[in-house]
Amino acid sequence: MFKPARQAARTGAVIAEALWAAGVPRDALRLVSLAATSGGDEGAIPAQTGTRSGACPSFGGDEGAIPAQTGTRPEACPTSGGNDDAIPAETGTRSEACPTSGGNDEAIPAQTGTRPRDLGSRLIADPRIERVILTGAYETAERFRRIRPDLPLLAETSGKNAIIVTPSADLDLAAHDVAYSAFGHAGQKCSAASLVVLVGSVADSERFRRQLLDAVGAYRVADPWDESARIGPLIAPAEGKLLRALTTLEPGQSWILEPRQIGDATWTPGIREGVLPGSEFHTTEYFGPVLGIMTAPTLDAAIDIVNAVDYGLTSGLHSLDEREIDRWLARIEAGNAYVNRGITGAIVARQPFGGWKKSSVGPGTKAGGPSYLFALGSWHDADPAGADPVPASNFAATARRILRIADPADRDWIAQALASDEAAYTGEFGRARDVQGMSVEQNALRYVPTPAIVRFEGGREAELLRVVAAAIRVGAPIEVSAVALPSAPLRELLIDSGITLRIEDAARWSTRVAGLAEARIRVIGGSADPIARASNGSPRIAVWAGEVTRAGRIEALPFLREQAVSITAHRFGTPRRYDIP
């Protein structure tokens, strides 16, 4: 008889899902090894070598930076959580190989006599640990930062994901995709749909409700080793908020499908309607087989409901109206945006994975995407290999002005940085790229300019100018905080570019940081420590404090959020393509 893998059985994953999930680490490792071994002379280098050894196209071909000697291997156990955490694990799979990722919390390794979780906490607290990658709840990221407020943390965290269904949707397909997205993996996927928002007439559509109940009713709930099972048990018996979500309704809500407990940790799916904006069910991640139905009069009102949640991991739209798709793509706040399909099952490279807002902690570069490895290294500035001096006439007006502002001694350096910014923009950041070019599904990775603060603590003014140039090139709305007044030409550039300048000494800066709810901060000439202290290690504050390099591929990252867009590009086999902006 076919036996599910040991890990799969421990997570409760049913066979079909376990088989699919088993391929994900393999794809991620293939992507990493491609990045580490490809040849050429574009410039980026695996972090662990610290030597300039050739190119790595999937690193983006960085002219202008070499990694600092960190000795950090992406696959090294304590910092990365072992191979299980090189990409987000499905359904809370515990890694036995690596104490930081949990292991079996009760087992005490003979050689240490320490419980894995205690050991994990001690590793996190140890300053010799340079970085930690976490796939887990936002609250766990908070816990890690309480243990060590200055911990460099790359965390893929919680989600409260919704699918919007408009009257122009194919309601049968929408019902099928909502059902699978909500109840696949028993809802224990960070990407799972927890809400469906029905727009206009869909709110009253008997057909949609019937199809949804039909689809969910077809899922057999059983042990994972039953080959016909479509929904398996939870990873552990439901307790706390999940138990509440499976058993208790809020005012105005009713079950259209009431969940039933049929085993220690096994529940049949639940669907509740009447979920109101601002209610607990609207905003709380439960991580289990329970779906809430909300309604909205218009698409914009539905998007408001979805964006009101603190998380922004996956999000879905079912609509066959191109204007609605455009509108949703322009407004939706989520790292993975899915149109006319389910919202789970991201494939490495095809739908690089990772969220916005509270769904991500740290640099936010997507797992399985072209920038993920950049965040695992530290970078030194370096001469772009074989680069000729760049004539000023090659640049557009703003870049020429930046060149003129630069001190003559720094002009070549700035020119190389501007050229690198341009190459990074045209090659990567400035367009939605579909690297796999499938005909039945469009999958584009795009970059959205995002607000950030540039904090200048000291050093060469050219470094501030260079970082500001990177932000301007990608169109990010930044502000600058400096300990001392920059030169008049730089101040004028900031004013003309609509960039607020604040002069703040260390005390004022710390006070402001303490009051920031969330921020992305690029520190120049200082360290991340004062920010960690002032914010008590808030996971909502992401800091880039590395050396300023000429590499546009690296320097633009604080100013951009990645979004993976995936759109079903056929209808019953007939191709139908969209312009993804």
353 is an interface residue for ligand A1AUG by CB under 6 A? yes
92 is an interface residue for ligand NAD by CB under 6 A? yes
Assess whether 156 carries a catalytic annotation: yes
Q: Give me the residues paired with residue 102 across strands.
A: 95
Tokens of 370: 């072209």
345 is an interface residue for ligand A1AUG by CB under 6 A? yes
346 is an interface residue for ligand A1AUG by CB under 6 A? yes
Burial of 310 (0-12, 13-18, 19+ CB in 10 A): middle
Q: Using CA atoms, how far apart are residues 75 and 510, in angstroms rounded to an integer?
A: 35
In the bound state with ligand NAD, the residue whose beta carbon lies nearer, of 85 and 324, is: 85
Judge whether 268 and 221 are in contact, CB under 8 Å: yes
Q: Using CA atoms, how far apart are residues 282 and 278, in angstroms rounded to an integer?
A: 6
Coil/strand/helix, residue 219: coil
Which among 398, 558, 413, 524 has a CA at the least distance from the CA of 473? 398
101 is an interface residue for ligand NAD by CB under 6 A? yes
In the bound state with ligand A1AUG, the residue whose beta carbon lies nearer, of 493 and 564, is: 564
Coil/strand/helix, residue 67: strand
Judge whether 461 and 469 are in contact, CB under 8 Å: no
The catalytically annotated residue of 42, 156, 285, 428 is 156
Q: Using CA atoms, how far apart are residues 160 and 516, in angstroms rounded to an integer?
A: 23
End-to-end CA distance of the chain: 49
Tokens of 213: 């109940």
**b/e code 326-354 from CB counts within 10 Å (16+ = b):** ebbbeebbbbbbbbbbbbbbbbbbbbbbb
In the list 61, 64, 67, 120, the residue contacting ligand NAD (rule: CB under 6 A) is 120
Judge whether 276 and 301 are in contact, CB under 8 Å: no
Residue 344 touches which of ligand A1AUG, ligand NAD, none (CB < 5 to 8 A by kind)? ligand A1AUG
In the list 21, 202, 296, 313, the residue contacting ligand NAD (rule: CB under 6 A) is 313
| Interface map 186-225 toward ligand NAD (x if CB under 6 A) | ----x-----------------------------------
Q: Using CA atoms, how far apart are residues 581 and 429, in angstroms rounded to an integer?
A: 12
Find the shortest distance in angstroms from Cβ 318 to ligand NAD: 23
Choices 61-69, 133-141, 254-262, 507-515 (CB under 6 A): range interacting with ligand NAD:
133-141
190 is an interface residue for ligand A1AUG by CB under 6 A? yes
In the list 10, 52, 117, 401, the residue contacting ligand NAD (rule: CB under 6 A) is 117
Residue 79 touches which of ligand NAD, ligand A1AUG, none (CB < 5 to 8 A by kind)? none
In the list 48, 157, 284, 420, the residue contacting ligand NAD (rule: CB under 6 A) is 157
102 is an interface residue for ligand NAD by CB under 6 A? yes
Find the shortest distance in angstroms from Cβ 122 to ligand A1AUG: 27
DSSP 91: G
Residue 159 touches which of ligand NAD, ligand A1AUG, none (CB < 5 to 8 A by kind)? ligand NAD
Residue 345 touches which of ligand A1AUG, ligand NAD, none (CB < 5 to 8 A by kind)? ligand A1AUG
Count of beta carbons in the 10 Å neighbourhood of residue 62:
28
> Beta strand 270-273 with 254-257: parallel, antiparallel or unpaired?
antiparallel
Within residues 79-98, the interface with ligand A1AUG by CB under 6 A covers: 88, 90
Chain residue whose CB lies nearest ligand NAD = 102
Chain residue whose CB lies nearest ligand A1AUG = 346
Within residues 277-306, the interface with ligand NAD by CB under 6 A covers: 285, 287
Task: Show Cβ contacts of residue 247 under 8 Å, excluding neighbours closer than 6 positions.
Answer: 259
Binding-site ranges for ligand NAD (CB under 6 A):
88-89, 92, 94, 100-102, 117, 120-121, 135-137, 140, 143, 156-159, 190, 285, 287, 313, 353, 355, 359
Catalytically active residues, by annotation: 156
Binding-site ranges for ligand A1AUG (CB under 6 A):
88, 90, 189-191, 344-346, 353
